[in-house]
Amino acid sequence: MTKYLAAMAIMLATPGIASASQIVLSASNIVGVSSAYNQGAGDNGPAFVANGARVTGVYGAGNLFNAQIGQPAVENFTDGSYFLTGDGVSSPTVSNPFVAVDLGAAYTLSGFELFNTSNGHVQDRGTATFAIFGSNVLIDDGANGSRIGGAPTLLAVGSLMVHTHGVAPLAQSFSALSDESFRYIQFMPLTGGAHNLYQPFAMGLNELKVFGSDQNAGPGAVPEPATWAMMIGGFAMAGATLRRRRMALRFT
């Protein structure tokens, strides 16, 4: 009976394979950027290139994923630890700035953590309102690289609080608005901080963290028919043993 009980224990203790966890991203996951802050040093670059200037520049989109573990550090005025869109003065601007990201696989997304920039050099360079969309389709967007296409699904929308300069950015959590699976997401700052001198441009974000379940992992461990048979047999044998013990105690 020992092997039956062992099979039962394994069955009951085996957890599901798929579970929501952080999808750790890096600059290499970025597939499109509409603009990045320039300061006249060419950070924006003539066009998007994977791991190029729009991603790896001082205020490039790669900064969204440079502190995926733990809390982002305190910013100084010019450390370039955050992403910043064009300001309309020293770098190009677009009407709908975006950062498109390839998650590497289809995920059912559970939520997001956003850390607004706390840069106070030009009062408030953070993002006031934002949206995140999901899709399984990428389309070419010329000099901007790729952006999501098809019929994008709204995954998150909200407002970010203003952070005090000299204090580490704090996380704000937003639950995903859809339980569909997506491979691509697109972050879009919609409005700049209330005190931004370059409103509505120069919208920044320190870090973006994404959470979800990999759909390639499957829903969980499914027992083989033989294992089911062993488990049922084990329950039957355990029940019979308990009945015999009760009868033996009754007649002693």
Residue tagged 């209330």 (tokens): 194
Closest-CA residue to 103 (of 20, 181, 217)? 181
Residues 7 and 87 in one domain: no
**34 or 184, which is more confident?**
184
| Mean pLDDT, all residues of the chain | 78
Both 31 and 104 in one domain: the answer is yes
Phi, psi of 67 (to 5 degrees): -145, 55
173 shares its domain with 212? yes
Query: What span, in angstroms and rounded, lies between the C-alpha atoms of 138 and 100?
Result: 9
Q: Are 15 and 21 in contact (CB under 8 A)?
A: no
234's tokens? 């084990």
Instruction: State whether 122 and 205 are in the same domain.
Output: yes
pLDDT tens profile 152-197: 999 999 999 887 777 888 899 999 999 999 999 999 999 886 655 5
Number of domains the chain contains: 2
Q: In whole angstroms, what is the distance from residue 109 CA to residue 155 CA?
A: 8
- One domain for residues 134 and 234: no
Q: Tens digits of per-residue pLDDT, 200-214?
A: 567 889 999 999 998
Q: What is the CATH number of the domain that holds 72?
A: 2.60.120.260
pLDDT digits (tens, 9 = 90+) for 91-144: 556 678 899 999 999 999 999 999 998 765 555 678 889 999 999 999 999 989
CA 218/CA 135 separation, integer angstroms:
20
CB 92 within 8 A of CB 115: no
pTM for the model: 0.75
Q: pLDDT: is 145 or 221 the higher one?
A: 145
- Domain identity same for 236 and 213: no
Whether residue 32 sits in one domain with residue 95: yes
- 1 has pLDDT over 70: no
pLDDT higher for 193 or 20?
A: 20
Whether 197 and 132 map to the same domain: the answer is yes
Residue 189 belongs to domain spanning: 21-217
144 and 242 share one domain:
no
How confident is the model at residue 2, as a pLDDT?
47
Indicate if 7 and 37 belong to the same structural domain: no
**Per-residue pLDDT averaged across 79-93, rounded?**
71
Q: 180 and 246 share a domain?
A: no
- Residue 30, pLDDT > 80, answer yes
In angstroms, the CA 13 to CA 22 distance is: 24
DSSP class of residue 166 equals T
CA 9/CA 4 separation, integer angstroms: 9
